[in-house]
Structure 1
Amino acid sequence: MFTPQKRLISLAGLIAAMFANTALAQSQPVAWSPSYGGSCADCDLSGKNLTGWTLNGANYSGARFDYAFMRGVRATAVNLQRANITGADLRGADLTSGRLADAVLNNARMQNVLASGADFSRARMEGANLERAKLIGVNFQGATLLFSRLDTADLSGANCTDAVMDRATLRGAVFNGANLTAVSFTGADLSQASFRDARLPGADLTGVTGAETADFAGACGSLTTRLPANMSLPMCAGAEFDEAD
């Protein structure tokens, strides 16, 4: 007979199993606490539904999250270096101070992401949608954002040195005080964007649209900065020593 006592024992065993220190994902051991922190380097979570997970401070370097559902994920200071996050749904996620150097986020949906202070250096983000994202002080050095969307995103104080933003849609984006040295904006839409006090030595704005509606007050460039016709910028301090192409 299945007595109430046996039911309690069975329920206790189920709860213990749910909160075990080691779980399995994609046939690989994944160490996590109930908040899914811990370490899961190089594990495969592609296509998984991770909506609402808390990954604060966790180590998922080299992991696969391609086409995963990660809406609203709380992942401050997470380590996602070299992770494959292609096509993932990260809308509304909190990646503040996250480490995403060399990660692949092509075609990722990142609208309304909070990622201030995050490191996306050398990340591949072609076609990523970062509309309305909060990216204050973010590191996009060497990142590829070809065909990305950053409409009304806030990149104030960002380091975008050597980033590629060709054909990107930057309508209403804020780059105030950003370091845009050698950034390629070829063919990008700058309509209503703000570049106040930004540094653009060596930047390429060839073929951009909407520059006449963008705000470049206090911005500066160099001899190697390529600007649209009828547009000029004052020389940045020290930029007079830049070598010509």
Structure 2
Amino acid sequence: MTRTGFALVSMLAVAMSAPEASAQGQAVAWSPGYAGACGQCDLSGRNLTGWDLTGGNYSGANFEYSFMRSIEAGNANFEQAKVTGADMRGAILTSAKLSGAILSDARLQGVRATGAEFRNATMQGISLQGALLVGANFASSDMTRARLDSADLSGANMTGSWLNDGILTGAIFNGANMTGVSLNNARVDGASFKDVRFIDADLSHLAGLETADFTGACVSLSTQLPEELTLPLCSMPTLSPALIAAQ
């Protein structure tokens, strides 16, 4: 373990010994900050409630079933981290890096993760209700059975992601890139997909279509749609004569 990693674990030991945190899972009475490096550290089951991890490097660390409510972790690196079952409700994850992380069944309700990276992440059963995810990158992530009720994913990159059996009630995907996305059996009651290009997407068996908004959305010939939904074909981008000549 690195010196900085040892320091973090030592700080955790002190926090857990405080009277207010005598039982694991109970919030500590203070909010320490640590923005060092603790890659590959085992922090599973720890209580990090309210900690400031802004800009820290926790690549490959184990946070399984940890208590991380309201942490501040903007620009932090959690790539390849194990976060299964962790409680991160209300966390600040603006521009954080979570590519390749495992977040299955994690609780991220109300997180602020604008511009965060979730590429190739495993997020089955994750709870993201009310989350702010504008411009976040979920390319090739597995979000099967995810809860995204009232989440804002405007402009997000959902290319090749799986949202099968997900709950997207009231979610906002306006202007998102949903090329190759799979929404098979997802619930979309009250969801907004304005100006979304569903190229090569699978929208089979969507539920709640009657109240979803597909204004300005379009599809490709290979897109799979439920019988009750009709969307126009996307127009091909027009190349300028100068660009054609350059090619």
Superposition deviation, residue 237 in structure 1? 2.7
User: Higher Cα Rg: structure 1 or 2?
Assistant: 1
Which of 36, 39, 44 is the equivalent residue of 1:38?
36
Partner amino acid for 1:189?
R
Partner amino acid for 2:9?
A
8 A contact 2:90–2:112 mirrored in 1:
yes
Judging changes above 3 Å, is the alpha-carbon distance between structure 1 residues 230 and 90 closer, same or farther for their aligned structure 2 residues? Answer: same
Q: How does 1:1-245 map to 2 (within 5 A)?
A: 23=7, 25=9, 35-238=33-236
Moved more, 208-217 or 225-234: 225-234
Superposition deviation, residue 42 in structure 1? 0.6
For each residue in 1:62-115, what CA deviation from the matched residue of structure 2 results, as whole angstroms up to 9, or x when unmatched? Answer: 000000000000000000000000000000000000000000000000000000
Partner amino acid for 1:82?
Q
Alignment partner of 1:23: what SS?
Answer: helix
The separation in 1 between residues aligned to 2:210 and 2:138, in whole angstroms, is 25
Q: Give 5+ residue unaligned stretches, structure 2.
A: 11-31, 238-247
Q: % of aligned pairs identical?
A: 51
The separation in 2 between residues aligned to 1:77 and 1:235, in whole angstroms, is 38
The separation in 2 between residues aligned to 1:141 and 1:175, in whole angstroms, is 14
The separation in 2 between residues aligned to 1:195 and 1:223, in whole angstroms, is 19
Q: Give 5+ residue unaligned stretches, structure 1.
A: 1-19, 27-33, 240-245
The separation in 2 between residues aligned to 1:228 and 1:174, in whole angstroms, is 20
Partner amino acid for 1:171?
T
Alignment partner of 1:25: what SS?
Answer: helix
Structure 1 segments of 4+ aligned residues over 6 angstroms from their partners: none
TM-score by length of 2: 0.84
8 A contact 2:195–2:218 mirrored in 1:
yes
Aligned length: 214
Residue 11 (structure 1) aligns with: none
Partner amino acid for 2:98?
L
For each residue in 1:42-62, what CA deviation from the matched residue of structure 2 results, as whole angstroms up to 9, or x when unmatched? Answer: 111000000000011100000
Superposition deviation, residue 238 in structure 1? 2.5
The separation in 2 between residues aligned to 1:125 and 1:165, in whole angstroms, is 10
The separation in 2 between residues aligned to 1:63 and 1:164, in whole angstroms, is 25
The separation in 2 between residues aligned to 1:21 and 1:39, in whole angstroms, is 6
8 A contact 2:94–2:113 mirrored in 1:
yes
For each residue in 1:108-149, what CA deviation from the matched residue of structure 2 results, as whole angstroms up to 9, or x when unmatched? Answer: 000000001000000000000000000000000000000110
Partner amino acid for 1:41?
G
CA RMSD of superposed structures (Å): 1.7
